[in-house]
Amino acid sequence: MSRIFSNDGKSIMLALDGYYFSTKTAGIDQTIALLPQLIENGLDAVIVTYGMANLYTESFKNVGMVVRADLSTSVFDARIPQTTDILSVEDALKLGADSVISMTFPGADGETASHKMAWDLAKAADNWNVPYMCETLPYSYHVTSPESNQIETIAAAARIGTELGADIIKTRLTGNPADVKIIEAAKRPVLVLGGPKTDNILDYFNYVKHCMDVGAKGVAVGRNITLDENPIGVVAGLNRIIHQNGTAEEAYQSYQSSFALLKA
């Protein structure tokens, strides 16, 4: 796991895998040009699709690469949590992957398929000695009901990922101090979803600080980096919290300093 986590066992991951799940992909291709500076400011790894890895092979040379093995089968309707396996672990390794990832949706209609996909990927990843990351999303991509956002539900989902053989769990938290139960249930390093783009970056830093406080090992974030007017600043801020144990305010200062440079 040393290729996608820092020596401190923590990780800042940039999710560039939107083309397999959504039409909301503005900013993804554009972020590629910024990769050297993002890495310089603390980025540990990227999560990419086959297409991204293929189109920008050179750009990902100096950063950990997690390749996504699953694809939405309803790309124009984000309410439908159905996926199919596309890449095998071998396919991912040929692209230079350091890890593979897939989602599973406990409680959703396609639960059987996404659980089996997770199990099969976990076994194949084990055979190739690469870590398998499981994104455990109860019921759907997003919070769809009070039940889908209960800590017990998210915790059970996270543990199912581990029970299916995951080495790393990617999940959402609720912001409540009891989120620690999710981390404990997971029994594996947890990376927290970046979630939808927020307007207030300080709010986001506060949320990330909370995540680290309850025991998360980092974040996997997409639009809060790619759609921000200052992607480098977001990474610099995350670095402050995640790798340097800083406060949200200190992260915000890093973000602002970076912004000043950008405008200068």
Positions that interact with a copy of itself (CB under 8 A)? 19-20, 23, 25, 29, 49-52, 54-55, 71, 73-77, 82, 84, 86, 91, 106-107, 111-112, 115-116, 119, 123, 138-139, 147, 152-153, 156, 159-160, 162-165, 187
Instruction: Pull the structure tokens for residue 142.
Output: 């997003």
Token pair 């396919």 is at which residue?
Answer: 91
List Cα–Cα distances, 139 to 30, 106, 146, 148, 188, in angstroms. 32, 6, 11, 6, 21
CA distance 116 to 2: 27
* Contact in structure between 133 and 99 (CB atoms under 8 Å): yes
Minimum CB separation from a copy of itself for residue 176, in Å? 17
Minimum CB separation from a copy of itself for residue 123, in Å? 8
Pick between residue 43 and residue 164 the one whose CB is nearest to a copy of itself: 164
CA distance 221 to 28: 12
How many other CB atoms are there within 10 angstroms of residue 155's CB atom? 22
Pick between residue 159 and residue 170 the one whose CB is nearest to a copy of itself: 159
Pick between residue 104 and residue 254 the one whose CB is nearest to a copy of itself: 104
Pick between residue 107 and residue 233 the one whose CB is nearest to a copy of itself: 107
Pick between residue 86 and residue 202 the one whose CB is nearest to a copy of itself: 86
CA distance 234 to 108: 33
Minimum CB separation from a copy of itself for residue 23, in Å? 4
Minimum CB separation from a copy of itself for residue 13, in Å? 19
